[in-house]
Amino acid sequence: MKQIANELQPKALLSLIFRWLTFRISLEEIKGLNKWHLIAGLIGTWFVGMGRYWDDPGAQLLQHLGLGSVIYIFVLSALLFVFIWGIGAHELSYFRLLTFISLTSFPAILYAIPVERFVDIETATTMNAWFLAIVALWRVSLLILFMRVIGPMSTMTALIAGLLPLMLIIATLTILNLNRVVFNVMAGFQEANAHNGAYEIMLIISFLSFYAALPTLIVYILCAAYRRSQLRTVDNQLSAVYKQYPTGTIHDFETWLAADAARPFMRKQDQLKAFKDQGGKI
């Protein structure tokens, strides 16, 4: 009970969220995530979701209630999990991924700022467009860093595995719901709306994602095949070490690897060589 109480302390939770939003993500904190972190993240996502659409006349009921954002992160996490698992990530789990995405949803609170009440529509449109770009880049960068830590994997591998499912989601939404945005853009936004700039950016991103999804998928398959091959190679090397050295030294070796897990995966081969050179003792 004392441990749960400590985990629920607002100061500790806010400190964790602040560290993650400022790109200080550690494997130990990811491993320490529990249901209370997820509950806090879902509540935050709910409030941010309501704030994002509260003054958007084109939003649907679920979006106004904030439930659309909550449902979305469950679907997004499931899709991301499939692609990250496919490319290989040692510490990945759906729960950890979902909790991380929920706890890093807070930058979207920028959308709730009613800038159109303080500036003219043209300026508000520009500001909302910048808010969208900043939040999108911020959260994608956090996701890439998260993947590098739990992989561990290189930045390029994390980019491919992280951006591909996002492209597929946007491309699907483009096919299903593009008519509203296209009509508004082609009509010159006859009805003034501070969210028009964000719709323009989404239109550009949608077209780019639609045409880039297939080439990115091909690159992803090649990267996954290569990385899986390297994983099997290292596993075979580790099996050989297991047979050669006593159990106690193997435990030391595994602890050593775990402590250094944030490095790109291929560095483990260098660690393996150093382990052998030291006679199996760390």
Read off the DSSP letter of residue 112.
G
- Listed by start position, the domains of the chain span 2-218, 232-277
Confidence of residue 185 (pLDDT cuts 50, 70, 90): very low
Residue 110 pLDDT > 80, yes or no? yes
259-278 pLDDT tens trace: 444 344 445 556 556 655 65
| Cα 250 to Cα 160: distance, rounded to the nearest angstrom | 33
What number is the average pLDDT over the span 62-87? 88
Confidence of residue 55 (pLDDT cuts 50, 70, 90): low
Asked if residue 152 has a cis previous peptide bond (ω within 30° of 0), the answer is yes
pLDDT at 109: 86
Ranking 37-41, 106-110, 247-251, 259-263 by mean pLDDT, the lowest is 259-263
pLDDT at 177: 62
pLDDT at 193: 52
Q: Which residue has the tokens 């995530």?
A: 33
Residue 247 pLDDT > 80, yes or no? no
Q: Which residue has the higher pLDDT, 130 or 55?
A: 130
| Cβ–Cβ under 8 Å, residues 217 and 164 | yes
Q: Which residue has the higher pLDDT, 227 or 20?
A: 20
Mean per-residue pLDDT of the chain: 77
Helices and strands in the chain: count of H runs, count of E runs: 12, 0
Residue 197 pLDDT > 80, yes or no? no
Q: Which residue has the higher pLDDT, 259 or 28?
A: 28
